[in-house]
Structure 1
């Protein structure tokens, strides 16, 4: 019986300047989804490794929701067995449901002989994100499938643009193992802001996009600031200000909150710098009573979903 396993990477959403519409794919961190036909018309979650708290009901699990959407599009309801292997924790701020949704779309498409393009898969994966989080944002699922850095189009929440990436960039991520639910993280956000603040953030976003096309590292560093969301959400993350000050003082290009947190990310130039930043973050968090994990990943275009 044919069996397909797909891997889809974790992601950094928002990336400081692009709240809810910018995302970056990571490497080496992600979820695996294995599928095979089961000779019925039912999609069955057979097992979820490292995810005992996740739903196994087909109507609620993001992977089976993705498959059902694809089946409806094709009007073909041949059922599949779905095995999910989580490579990182839910609620980490690294796009957990997105990685599973992306891997499910990629695996099912491969199982069928690739009737859909990768761009079409982003739409289906976004439906899994909607099932998990309530909204079909593509800021996580698009980079998880396509790879690289992706910006959602303002005119269409399911369409996106792949952006160029500066050379030799790396992300160092620290995941404090505390619970920060996306719903709670959103509940503390203010619904209004000063015009001056909005104007400042728009300027940073414009400069950020320009830095990518101009391949200007100094402009990238100057633009990677979040004056809207970070001041509100950073209070949920222990030692945030201390970490930020420390890594920027060591020469990092940027520091911010990954998704809705609690994971934080540092962007640096060159692999050698990653060890310096890793040591700096470890020294700070080893003085707390919070368990943590550190991940290191290059930031480049060769980072989307793959068939294993």
Structure 2
């Protein structure tokens, strides 16, 4: 029977947690901001079809699509368990723009592997599947990191532990916060965004980074919104990456003048985010970003909440 997995968009770093924090997003208007993959039994050979708003940005050849790599990776993992994986037909609904800073590749990977795992009766547990997702993500970005795949798969706000037994842990969030995200329509590759960063950081920057992350984590558990917001500043990536984002400083200024608790770059950009307590302020910021930050017809903006569900599986009868 066909199995479908929906993996939501995510924002990596959340300003103060470079490669360590990731947040899952769900638009309040019900928009399916994420990728969907369906797996169907196939009698002959692997096949992949693509649809969705950003399907035309994907490689024409199925073998060049990350979803095909996911099938091969899952097949190899199953061989290690003595399970034969026959060719399947997969359908990718690509709703996230590539190179947007919203975990686009992660959403495709998470949806593909979650759907395959469900289709074959869940042979991989949550932890093993998450590590496989990270491995596939590493094929694209050049290094294994989980700050998008973990929240997209598990939901919520994830802190990357990356121990021998656990990839990440869920942190508490402020349920009353809204997260405004705006994709400009431009594209910034993760590898390019990493190259612009310095190879080394000063001791002062390192201490500040650690202090912010520790204070933020404490503030979440203490339910201290003001303290949490006060340390949501990026001292690692934003000073360098904002040069890649036209209009970033103006967008930050408007957001902060209109009730934003924090404003920053989502992942590698060009998507930006604003954390806001008041829905009216969130809508005001969203409308301004739509008029002033979006550069072309590919751009969009949403007011979101934290998606606590992560990847959702459905089976068709």
TM-score (ref. length: structure 2):
0.89
Q: CA deviation at 1:158?
A: 7.2
**Pair 146,229 (structure 1): closer, same or farther in 2 beyond 3 Å:** same
Partner of 1:236: 244
Aligned: 1:37 with 2:36: no
Inter-partner Cα distance in structure 2 for 1:203 and 1:192:
18
Q: CA deviation at 1:162?
A: 1.3
Aligned: 1:307 with 2:313: yes
**Pair 236,10 (structure 1): closer, same or farther in 2 beyond 3 Å:** same
Question: How does 1:188-227 map onto structure 2 within 5 Å?
Answer: 188-227=196-235
Partner of 1:52: 56
Partner of 1:278: 286
In the alignment, which of 168, 175, 180 is matched to residue 172 of structure 1? 180
Partner of 2:3: 4
Aligned: 1:111 with 2:114: no
Q: CA deviation at 1:10?
A: 0.7
- 1:65–1:131 Cα contact (<8 Å) kept: no
In the alignment, which of 44, 52, 63 is matched to residue 67 of structure 2? 63
Inter-partner Cα distance in structure 2 for 1:187 and 1:156:
29
Aligned: 1:298 with 2:305: yes
Q: CA deviation at 1:300?
A: 4.5
- 1:180–1:262 Cα contact (<8 Å) kept: yes
- 2:252–2:263 Cα contact (<8 Å) kept: yes
Two-structure CA RMSD over aligned residues (Å)? 2.1
In the alignment, which of 242, 248, 251 is matched to residue 256 of structure 2? 248
Question: Is the deviation greater in 182-191 or in 9-18?
Answer: 182-191
Residue by residue over 1:38-97, the C-alpha shift from the partner in whole angstroms, topping out at 9 and shown as x without a partner, is 124x43323354323423656542222223222222222211111111112111111111
Q: CA deviation at 1:169?
A: 1.6
Question: Is the deviation greater in 7-16 or in 267-276?
Answer: 267-276
> Aligned residue pairs: how many?
303
Partner of 2:29: none
Partner of 2:110: 102
**Pair 67,270 (structure 1): closer, same or farther in 2 beyond 3 Å:** farther
Aligned: 1:17 with 2:16: yes
Question: Is the deviation greater in 165-174 or in 115-124?
Answer: 115-124
Partner of 1:81: 89
For structure 1, the residue ranges without an aligned partner over 5 or more in a row are: none
In the alignment, which of 97, 100, 103 is matched to residue 92 of structure 1? 100
Question: Is the deviation greater in 161-170 or in 140-149?
Answer: 161-170
Partner of 1:129: 137
Inter-partner Cα distance in structure 1 for 2:151 and 2:126:
11
Inter-partner Cα distance in structure 2 for 1:157 and 1:227:
30
SS at match of 1:190: coil
Inter-partner Cα distance in structure 1 for 2:292 and 2:76:
50
Inter-partner Cα distance in structure 2 for 1:212 and 1:300:
17
Q: CA deviation at 1:155?
A: 4.2
**Pair 156,51 (structure 1): closer, same or farther in 2 beyond 3 Å:** farther
For structure 2, the residue ranges without an aligned partner over 5 or more in a row are: 27-31
TM-score (ref. length: structure 1):
0.91
Q: CA deviation at 1:141?
A: 0.6
